[in-house]
Chains A and B, each alone.
Chain A
């Protein structure tokens, strides 16, 4: 069972200034969806954008709090 606010804070800490939304997809607390809009994504491939998000929450995968995290990434309109 993951703490949604903590997951959001971990992503925001890794990507300062990012707009982050984390929702519980199944109600079970371990399958989450994160929508992240960050200027840091500019020029990166999607896989690298996702790597940044997944790396930010890796400790919660490692301890089993999250089993699945769907990620949507976007670069903010300038």
Chain B
């Protein structure tokens, strides 16, 4: 059973921040490779986001997020109040352009390097 006061605080944070990342460490100094991958994706999107370091209260926060969104591992990225996913999902959505869509921003040029090749016009032979 999660701590009721902490749960309420987390719910308020999720409601108050359109883009909110629960991570290990900070965006400036991630303490986990998975958290770092999500930070890199968000930074590439040039979007403002809130970040919460879960390490000082890891186990209580696991219990809280298990109740709120049925997810216990970190990082967790919330967009408009809903859990979008952890590192695997965020990376997959970053590559496919779905992350930009979910965040309501333009897909950055560097993320689209592979699709850009595919979208290049066919070679014309004179």
Chain A contacts to B: CB under 8 angstroms: 46-47, 50-51, 70-72
Contact = CB atoms under 8 A, between A and B. Distances in A.
Contacts of A71: 88
A51 B70 contact: yes
A46 B91 CA distance: 12
Contacts of A47: 71, 83-85, 89
| Chief secondary structure at chain A's binding surface | helix
Interface residues of B, number: 10
B93 interface: yes
Nearest to A50: B89
Interface of B: 70-71, 83-86, 88-89, 92-93
Contacts of A70: 88
Of the candidates A46, A51, A72, the one having the most CB atoms from chain B within 10 angstroms of its own CB is: A46
A70 B93 CA distance: 15
Nearest to B73: A68
10 contacts: A46-B85, A47-B83, A47-B84, A47-B85, A47-B89, A50-B86, A50-B88, A51-B71, A71-B88, A72-B88
A55 B8 CA distance: 25
